[in-house]
Amino acid sequence: MDAWKKVNSSSKESPSISIHLFEQYNIYLYYDGMASIYYGYAGLLENKEAFYSVPEGTAETVQEYVARYGTVTKHGVNSSTFAKEG
C-alpha cells in the first residue's frame, strides 16, 4: 500500500474488480490505475469513500491472483471477490 497515493477523485471508468472485505467495506480497482475504498459505516461528517492512484497493473494482478487462489462471482460489470480459506 506504500505505492498507493491519495487523490481527490475517482476513475471515470466502471470498476474492473470489487473486493468485498466485509459488510459495508469494499475496495474497487480500475484498469486505469485508480482505486477507491468504500466504508459504508462512516459517520455523517466523514467521507464514505477515498480515492487513490495505484501502480499500473494492480487490477490485473489482483484478478489473476483471485482467479488462481480465490473465487470470483460476477455482478454486472464488476467482479466481486472472496478469498479461499486455508
DSSP 37-83: EEETT--TTS-SEEEEE--TTHHHHHHHHHHHHEEEEEETTEEEEEE
84 pLDDT band (50/70/90 cuts)?
Answer: very low
Burial level of 47, CB count in 10 A (0-12/13-18/19+)? exposed
Question: What is the phi-psi region of residue 8: left when phi exceeds 0, alpha when psi lies from -120 to 50, beta otherwise?
Answer: alpha
Enclosing domain of residue 58: 5-83
- Give the pLDDT confidence score for residue 75 in this predicted structure: 53
Domains in the chain, number: 1
Closest among 73, 46, 45 to 37, alpha carbons compared: 46
- Say if residue 68's pLDDT is above 70: yes
The pLDDT of residue 74? 59
The answer to whether the CB of 34 falls within 8 A of the CB of 10 is yes
Contact 15, 38 (CB under 8 A): no
Task: Please determine, for residue 82, whether its predicted confidence score (pLDDT) is greater than 60.
Answer: no
